[in-house]
Amino acid sequence: MFWVWTPEFNAKLLYVSPAYETIWGRSCESLYASPQSWRDAIHPEDKEWLLERIRELDLKSASDETYRIVRPDGSIRWIRDRIFPVRDAHGAVLQFTGIAEDITESKVAADVVRESEGKFRQLLSSNIVGVVFWTLQGDIVDANDFFLSMIGYSRDDLRDGKVSWKNLTLPEYVAVDQKAIDELLSTGTCQPFEKEYVRKDGRSVSVLIGSALLEKQKRSGISFIMDITARKKGEAALQKANRQLQILSRRRVQVQEEERRRLARELHDQIGQLLTAGNINLQSARKAKDRQAINKKLDETTAILEQILKQVRQISFDIRPPVLDDLGLAPATRWMVNDSVARAGVSAEFFVDPNLNRGDVETETACYRVALEAVSNVLRHAQARKVWVELRNAENAFELIVRDDGIGFDIADAERRVRRDRLGLVGMRERATAVGGQFQCTSTPGGGTEIRALFPISANGETASL
């Protein structure tokens, strides 16, 4: 659009090209009829400074102005105006001419680009995702600080060419990378995939990668990389816990079945035989005519009944000692230790805090079972001469300690044997943690073993910690 106006402040328009109608949305006739209409069309936020610039035009040889106008339909357009003063022979300004163009599309596009660049710069500097620019030759051209921190390299390392896919990639992931490259060359993008990088310090980091090809001919692209190490470790820990839970559940069923078989065998082999003997004695006494012979058979039957009563009491104690319910954890544990070591021929020392905290039924039962399992393991496997059992107070909890002077064992090896369906340490740990407690075992071959378990006062209370 070309236009001419006088140098007075009121700026009388002398000529406006027909392109004015297209850009400003106003007809030339309306402009000539109302010479100030062009001022009214200037956007309110631009009007004051633009008119001030017009006042100063005679001081300059030319001026470039960019401003907004409001069309009659309410739409806004961006205008770039190149203004030239026309002077007489003495240098006085006679009139001004202007060449204006509609730059709305380029202005909007520039704003979009600027906004996109701002968001991209924000992404590059974020501490959420690593951003890497690369070539298919294996060079890393640039990367944000988060990625460099993820792999343990500095920006100086990047500038020195020490950071490349070859240095970061383990051999087992070469085929995975090649598949991603083939997909990039074919489609321009590749599906996100997981792999591991080797950090500068040699440790591995698990990542999730999404990539896109930027310039196919130059074989360059961009990758967005998330550190998923914590997630992978969590998944591995969950899988391990699930495997141990399955093993424990299966073993508990086996233990229950073994206990049933033991009870059935004892009832059949011991109590059954004693009852049979008692029955034979009673039948013999019935047939005997001599009072002395009858009394002898009755005495033998009485002895058999006492033995049966003793066997039934022992079986009952093995299943669950009544003293645990009647007197509590300390007396029950003391009885268990004395009874177990007496039968095994091992010496024992038992200590209990005089004012031991009392737990609820669930926590005291869990503690007793852990103590029973620990003492049983000592008697079966430790080849110990002595075992120490202690019950001590802790803050809002009580602690069980079982030590021996036996041969000890390799804890890592014992944990691996869990996979072969052995209950052992896992069973005791599960019993403790099931009520919110903690379990710890220390042992070395030839150095004995110590088990420490902490139990909260209530299974529904806060978790106890060693």
Lowest average pLDDT, out of 216-225, 389-398, 402-411, goes to: 216-225
| Lowest-confidence pick of 83-87, 312-316, 364-368, 440-444 | 312-316
Q: Tell which wins on pLDDT, 461 or 213.
A: 213
Q: What is the pLDDT of residue 54?
A: 67
pLDDT 10s digits, 348-404: 999 999 989 888 888 998 899 899 889 988 998 889 999 999 999 988 899 999 999
β-strand pairing of 347-352 with 386-394: parallel
pTM of the model: 0.43
Edge-first strand order for the sheet with 130-135 is 140-143, 130-135, 220-227, 204-215, 189-198
Q: How many CB atoms are closer than 10 A to CB 140?
A: 22
Beta-bridge mates of residue 221 = 134, 213
Burial label, 328 (beta-carbon count in 10 A; 0-12, 13-18, 19+): middle
Q: Cβ neighbours of residue 13 under 8 Å, at least 6 residues apart?
A: 3, 4, 5, 31, 32, 35, 38
Residue 419: pLDDT above 60?
A: no
The Cα 311–Cα 319 span in angstroms is: 12
What is the per-residue pLDDT across 427-448, written as a single tens digit (0 to 9) for each? 788 888 888 899 999 998 888 9
Alpha-helical (H) ranges within 320-388 are 322-326, 329-344, 361-377
* Proportion of the chain above pLDDT 90, given as a percent: 15
Beta carbons within 8 Å of 10's beta carbon, 6+ residues apart = 35, 36
The secondary structure element, H or E, covering residue 127 is: none
More confident residue, 389 or 44: 389
* C-alpha span between 432 and 374 (Å, rounded): 12
Find out whether 49 and 56 touch, Cβ atoms under 8 Å. no
Q: Count CB atoms within 10 A of the CB of residue 148.
A: 20
* pLDDT above 70 coverage of the chain, percent: 79
Confidence at residue 194, expressed as pLDDT on a 0 to 100 scale = 92
Q: What is the strand order of the sheet 438-443 is part of? A: 347-352, 386-394, 397-404, 449-456, 438-443
Cross-strand partners of 67: 79
Q: Tell me how far apart the alpha carbons of residues 238 and 243 are, in angstroms, rounded to a whole number.
A: 9
Cα end-to-end span (Å), the chain: 84
Match 């520039």 to its residue by tokens. 110
Q: What is the pLDDT of residues 100-138, one digit of tens each?
A: 888 888 877 777 666 666 666 665 666 678 888 888 877
Task: Report the C-alpha gap between 441 and 368 in whole angstroms.
Answer: 17
Residue 234 three-state SS: helix
CA-closest candidate to residue 312, choices 263, 348, 276, 356 = 263
- Single-letter residue type at 130: G
What's the average model confidence in pLDDT over 1-26? 66
How many C-beta atoms surround the C-beta of residue 322 within 10 A?
A: 11
What is the spatial distance between Cα 413 and Cα 308, in angstroms, rounded to a whole number? Answer: 43
**What average pLDDT does the chain have?**
80
Give the pLDDT of residue 80: 83
Instruction: Please determine, for residue 449, whether its predicted confidence score (pLDDT) is greater than 90.
Output: yes
CB neighbour list of residue 330: distance below 8 Å, 6 or more residues apart: 352, 356, 391
Q: 42 - beta bridge partners?
A: 69
Q: Dig out the tokens for 105 from the structure.
A: 């599309």
pLDDT at 309 over 90: no
Rounded average pLDDT over 207-212: 91
Q: Which of 423, 376, 428, 377 is nearest to 400 (CA)?
A: 428
What pLDDT sits at residue 420? 45
d(CA 207, CA 130): 10
Report DSSP state, residue 381. Answer: I
Question: Alpha-carbon Rg of the chain, whole angstroms?
Answer: 46
46-58 confidence digits (pLDDT tens) = 887 777 776 666 5
208, 196, 199, 209: which is closest to 151 by C-alpha?
Answer: 199
Number of CB atoms found within 10 A of residue 145's CB: 15
Residues 6 or more apart whose CB falls under 8 angstroms from that of 1 comprise 16, 17, 19, 20, 22, 23, 24, 98, 99, 100, 101
